[in-house]
Structures are given as structure tokens and as C-alpha cells.
């Protein structure tokens, strides 16, 4: 399947070897060839597309990152003047404006190709619950595509668009990515505006992104991660999660994985074997994998459909279902109607339980760079899913349903193929606003699994939750000022030495002895140091407690790295006792 990679298209456009009009023409031909996959609910006509193509004439490709790039939109997200159906013809309406996310993509030069098929009212993870036909897997026609964002994923996988928008409330931006060999970004709730989205569970919904690579997903994310005051659930993106902080993760990587006893593959031996092969590649690369308990995540996941959040689905479309019973998929109707009569007391009890589960799950996060789950335990055939539509759909959500309830971010990553040449993938999970960090880890995994990546060399990325600080004196472990690190939640990373470029002097302030490091490239020597990870939120207050002649600057380690650390004004060399010869503050103190 030929891909329409964003960077490839842009290079062709820049060299004038291709035009957007030519790409659109080819897409139309290809869409006809794949008509039986049931990807589209509404494929835009030439007349409907013309305004978008004409608008490119006044847009500079150098300042519009998605100039001429074709994309697809899940049909529960509004595109101006094109019907939004949410997978139900009788529900359709024609919006007078596009969803905020869609409009930002168009403003950046992207060209909408059409509205894609979905599990009706975004209720399902399989892609079979649509009056517009079952959406078939891009790799094997007999298998499910995953849902509810089925058409959006398959449109990218079949090379009909460069990227697409889906949604993700319970896993709809991850399961279809896994089954169709794509990157699937389930952003932090509120990072992307939901204005113009038909809600499933309004407090949990996310618009998601399907793309060929982490770099391309980040390109799209950089256009749409926008605070929208017209969306009451929109949230401001913090500095350390913006586009500047996407690159490739380097250095030590510690990942939490589900303990073996909690893994479920529902009889799919191929997926079980693919998961183990994936872990083997990670271990061989030097990545540390540590098993974690899954019980609390699983209990949170069950709250989504077995708890009162089903009532949110009823609030979104329950009255329509009651008034149009013959127009709604029976399985979808049965699920949503369960939310009609739940009590407010049920919601509060569930909220209390969810908060307790959050606390337990969050306790695990600081120990790891991210968590890793298999995205799905089994890839079902269409016939299997149609025979057992509820139970098997719940199996598809075993590893996904907890994400939005717990306010976590995630990226689905393809890794290996099964023996039947079907896609398999994992999901990287982090706390809220860890999106760029997860994408940077994804970039590292893409190389390990020989996935398609862009040619340009990305910047290196480390964990932005913490700032490494080198200490050499009273802040060392067990010494009088170490509490200033411990009470801020700092963690000891390593014991090492500075480069052989420092001299150490004895300082005294109110009876407290401390060393002062002065940089001396020609006459210095190595000094023992500890490097502590200080939580970013606490770094400012830590620096504020540092007094002259000390300060926080850059200290070079013996292996050439430059890290934040204690430095000292050079003038102290004139009046202070030099103790460089000890090479260590603790050794100096031991001989006093």
C-alpha cells in the first residue's frame, strides 16, 4: 500500500513535481478501487473540494506546514457545509462551521477528502456497527478494522490520505491504529478542542490523530494543540509539552509493563507471540522493563461501561434513540439505553472509587518513563465479532478503557507483524500532558522496529518532569542540606565526578561548612559529585535557597555532559582555603 507521507508530498510540491490537484485526482481513483472497504460516509465532490484547493494559491507553503496535505475526518466531527451523521443517517445535520481542530488544519493548508465511517455514535471498538457497512481491515479483508474510528484509520492505512482525525473515549484512537499498522495519538484530555464534536462522553472525549510516523503525528499535533475558550473542557498546554519538546528519546529508559498473570490474549496465540517478540526487542536494546500490577487499571476500565458514565452517552444521544428506535444499531441502542435510569448516587459512588483508583495508579507513574500495554489482546475476524458483538467488543477494551477516566495520555505504536502478516502494536502511556515525551519515545522505538521515519535528524529528548542537578557538598546524601532535595521529591540519579576542570574551596556561612567549585580548565581536577533529579515544579524554589557566593550554573561531568549544578564565584579563591586535593567533600570532612 502506497503511503502519502507528509514530508514526501511537501518535497514534491516544493520541487513542482506534483500538485495537490493531481494528488486529489489519484485519491479519487484509489477510493473507487477500495469502495468495498466502506471507508467513507461522504467523499467530497470536486465542487466541494475546489474552495480548499483554490485557497492554497494565497498560502505560502513555507509558512503552512500542511499545505496541500490530504486528510480525513471521522464523521462525528464537523466539516462546514458537509453533513455530520455520527454513523446514523437520520441523525444527520449540516454544520455552518467546521470543528475548531478541522478549521485549524484547513488554515494550515490541509485538504479535507471526506468524512469517514465509524461505529454508530462512536459506540464500539470494532468497526462493524454502522449502517454504511462494515469497515474492513486494511491488511486482511476478513478481519475487523477496529473502531469506533474505523474509516479514519483505514483511510490512512490504504494510502487514501496522509493523516486523519478520529476520536477516543474508550480506545477508538488506539485499537484501529493497532489493527491497521499506524501511529495513533490519544492526546491528553482537553489538549485538542472538542468544539464541533458530537459527544459520546463529553467529559472524557478526545479527538485523536492517525499518522504514519511519530514525526508526522507531531506535525499534525503542532497545528491543533490549541486552547479553545469556546470549549469548556479545553486545557492550556504546559511549556514542556509543546512542539519544541518532540525529538528522539536518548539515554536510560525504564518502562512499566503488565505482570504476566494479568495478560489476556483471548485465545489469540499470534498476538501473544507478537507481544513477547516486541518485549524481546526492547530488552535487547537495553530498555529496562519492570512488571506492575494491573488490577487498579482494570477496575477503572470497567467503570466506563459498567458504571454511571454510560449515562453520559445517554445524555448525548439517548433522546434521539428513543424517538428513532429503528434507525439505531440494536447493540448501540442497548448499550446507551442502560444509562437512562442510573441514579446520581451511583455517579458519586463511582467517582469516589475512581479517585481512589487514580491515586493508586498515579503512585506508579513517577518510577517510570512510561507504561506499556499491548493495545489489544486479539484481532478478531468480522464474522467472530458479528456472532458475539458485546463480549468480544469488551475484550477489545481490556487494555484501553481506563485511559481517559484516569486522565492519561497515550500513543499506539505498531511493532511487529504476526505469522499471518497482520499488524500488532503496543501503547505507551503517561500522565496528562506527556504527549510529546511519549512521541519522543515512539521515535526511538520506530528505529528499533524498522518503521518508516523521516530523514532529518531530530533533537534528543530527556524526561521533562525533572531537572538533573549536580551537588558536591552539604546537599550530598546524608549531609546537613540534603533535606532540601528530599523534601522537594528529588531522587538520586547517580554518583560520578566532574571533568578534570574544577578547583574546590572551603566556604563557611553561619557555622555551616560548604565547598565552592570554581571552573579552571587548565589547573583543575575531578571532584566527586552526585546528580539528583529535582521535580521541575520545585526547581525554582530550590534555586531561590542558594546564596552567594554559590549559584546554579552548568557543571561538566567526567564523561563530557553539562548538567545544572552548584558553581562558585571565582573571587573566593583569593580568600578561601583550597581543598581541591581531597577530590571529594566527604573525604575532606572525614579528615577534619
Active site residues per annotation: 74, 148, 172
Torsions phi, psi for 492 (to 5 deg)? -70, 125
Ramachandran angles phi, psi of 73, nearest 5° = -130, 125
Backbone angles phi and psi of 527, in degrees to 5: -125, 140
Can you tell me the distance from the alpha carbon of 271 to that of 378, in angstroms, rounded to the nearest whole number?
6
The secondary structure element, H or E, covering residue 151 is helix 150-157
- Are the beta carbons of 409 and 434 closer than 8 angstroms? yes
100 φ/ψ angles, rounded to the nearest 5 degrees: -55, -45
- Apex CA 232: angle with CA 227 and CA 235, to 5°? 35
Write out the DSSP string of 288-327: EEEEE--HHHHHHHHHHHHSTTHHHHHHHHHHHHHH-GGG
Classify 23 as helix, strand or coil.
helix
Distances (CA, A) of 133 to 41, 172, 389: 9, 18, 15
Calculate the alpha carbon distances from 283 to 251, 253, 255, 286, 562 in Å. Answer: 14, 11, 10, 5, 28
- In 122-194 the beta strands, taken as DSSP E runs, fall at 163-167, 183-186
Q: Give yes or no for a contact between 313 and 335, defined as CB atoms under 8 angstroms apart.
A: yes
| CA nearest neighbour of 189 among 220, 167, 216 | 167
Q: Measure Cα distances from 537 to 153, 189, 206, 351, 530 in Å.
A: 38, 21, 27, 28, 21
Residues 6+ apart with CB under 8 A from 319: none
- Residues 497, 311: Cα–Cα separation, whole Å: 59
- The H or E element that residue 373 is part of is strand 370-374
Q: What is the dihedral of CA 202, 242, 297, 153, to 10 degrees?
A: 70
The enclosing H or E element of 268 equals none
**Four-CA torsion 540, 543, 545, 547, nearest 10 degrees:** -150
List phi, psi (to 5°) of 306.
Answer: -100, 0
Q: How many residues would you count in the chain?
A: 592
Beta bridge partners of 565: 470, 553
d(CA 191, CA 217): 14
Tracing cell 496528562 back to the chain, one arrives at 432
Helix residue spans in 375-454 (DSSP H) = 382-387, 391-396, 435-448
- H-state helical runs in 225-368: 269-284, 295-306, 310-323, 330-337, 344-362
Amino acid at each position: 500500500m502506497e503511503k502519502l507521507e507528509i514530508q514526501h508530498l511537501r518535497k514534491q510540491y516544493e520541487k513542482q513535481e506534483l500538485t495537490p490537484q493531481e494528488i486529489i485526482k489519484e485519491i479519487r481513483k484509489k477510493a473507487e478501487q477500495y469502495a468495498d472497504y466502506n471507508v467513507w460516509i461522504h467523499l467530497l465532490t470536486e465542487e466541494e473540494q475546489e474552495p480548499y484547493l483554490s485557497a492554497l494559491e494565497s498560502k505560502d507553503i513555507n509558512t503552512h506546514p500542511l499545505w496541500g496535505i490530504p486528510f480525513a475526518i471521522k464523521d462525528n466531527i464537523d466539516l462546514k457545509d458537509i453533513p455530520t451523521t455520527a454513523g446514523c443517517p437520520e441523525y444527520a445535520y449540516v454544520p455552518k462551521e467546521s470543528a475548531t481542530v478541522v478549521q485549524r488544519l484547513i488554515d494550515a493548508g490541509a485538504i479535507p477528502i471526506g468524512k469517514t465511517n465509524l461505529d454508530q455514535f462512536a459506540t464500539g471498538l470494532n468497526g462493524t456497527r454502522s449502517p454504511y457497512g462494515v469497515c474492513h481491515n486494511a491488511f486482511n479483508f476478513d478481519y475487523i478494522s477496529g473502531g469506533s474510528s474505523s474509516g479514519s484509520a483505514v483511510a490512512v492505512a490504504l494510502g487514501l490520505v496522509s493523516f486523519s482525525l478520529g476520536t477516543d473515549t474508550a480506545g477508538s484512537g488506539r485499537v484501529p491504529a493497532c489493527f491497521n499498522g499506524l501511529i495513533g495519538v490519544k492526546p491528553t484530555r482537553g489538549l485538542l478542542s472538542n468544539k464541533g464534536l458530537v459527544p459520546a462522553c463529553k467529559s472524557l472525549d478526545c479527538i485523536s490523530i492517525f499518522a504514519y510516523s511519530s514525526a508526522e503525528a507531531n506535525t499534525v499535533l503542532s497545528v491543533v494543540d490549541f486552547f479553545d475558550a469556546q470549549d469548556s473542557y479545553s486545557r492550556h498546554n504546559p511549556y514542556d509539552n509543546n512542539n519544541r519538546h518532540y525529538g528522539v528519546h536518548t539515554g536510560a529508559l525504564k518502562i512499566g509493563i503488565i505482570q504476566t498473570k494479568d495478560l489476556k490474549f483471548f485465545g489469540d496465540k499470534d498476538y501473544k507471540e507478537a507481544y513477547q517478540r516486541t518485549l524481546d526487542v526492547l530488552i535487547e536494546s537495553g530498555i529496562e522493563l519492570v512488571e506492575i500490577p494491573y488490577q487498579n487499571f482494570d477496575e477503572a476500565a470497567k467503570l466506563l461501561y459498567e458504571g454511571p458514565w454510560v449515562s453520559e452517552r445517554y445524555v448525548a444521544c439517548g433522546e434521539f434513540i428513543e424517538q428513532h428506535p429503528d434507525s439505531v444499531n440494536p447493540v448501540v441502542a442497548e448499550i446507551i439505553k442502560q444509562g437512562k435510569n442510573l441514579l446520581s448516587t451511583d455517579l458519586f459512588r463511582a467517582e469516589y472509587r475512581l479517585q481512589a483508583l487514580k491515586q493508586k495508579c498515579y503512585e506508579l507513574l513517577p518510577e517510570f518513563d512510561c507504561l506499556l500495554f499491548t493495545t489489544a489482546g486479539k484481532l478478531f475476524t468480522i464474522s467472530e465479532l458479528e456472532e458475539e458483538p458485546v463480549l468480544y467488543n469488551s475484550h477489545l477494551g481490556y487494555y484501553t478503557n481506563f485511559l481517559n477516566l484516569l486522565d492519561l495520555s497515550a500513543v499506539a505504536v505498531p511493532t511487529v507483524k504476526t505469522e499471518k502478516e497482520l499488524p500488532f502494536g503496543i501503547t505507551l502511556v503517561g500522565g496528562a500532558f506527556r504527549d510529546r515525551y511519549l512521541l519522543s519515545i515512539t521515535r526511538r522505538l520506530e528505529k528499533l522496529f524498522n518503521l518508516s521515519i523521516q530523514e532529518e535528524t531530530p533533537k534528543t529528548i530527556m524526561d521533562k518532569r525533572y531537572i538533573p542537578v549536580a551537588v558536591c557538598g552539604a546537599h550530598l546524601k546524608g549531609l546537613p542540606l540534603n533535606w532540601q532535595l528530599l523534601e522537594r521529591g528529588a531522587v538520586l540519579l547517580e554518583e560520578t565526578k566532574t571533568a578534570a576542570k574544577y578547583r574546590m574551596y572551603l566556604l563557611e556561612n553561619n557555622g555551616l561548612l560548604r565547598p565552592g567549585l570554581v571552573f579552571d580548565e587548565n589547573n583543575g581536577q575531578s571532584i566527586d559529585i552526585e546528580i539528583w533529579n529535582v521535580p521541575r515544579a520545585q526547581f525554582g524554589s530550590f534555586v531561590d535557597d542558594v546564596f552567594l557566593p554559590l549559584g546554579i550554573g552548568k557543571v561538566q561531568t567526567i564523561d563530557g555532559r553539562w548538567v545544572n549544578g552548584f558553581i562558585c564565584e571565582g573571587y573566593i579563591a583569593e580568600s578561601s582555603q583550597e581543598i581541591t586535593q581531597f577530590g571529594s567533600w566527604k573525604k575532606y570532612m572525614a579528615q577534619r
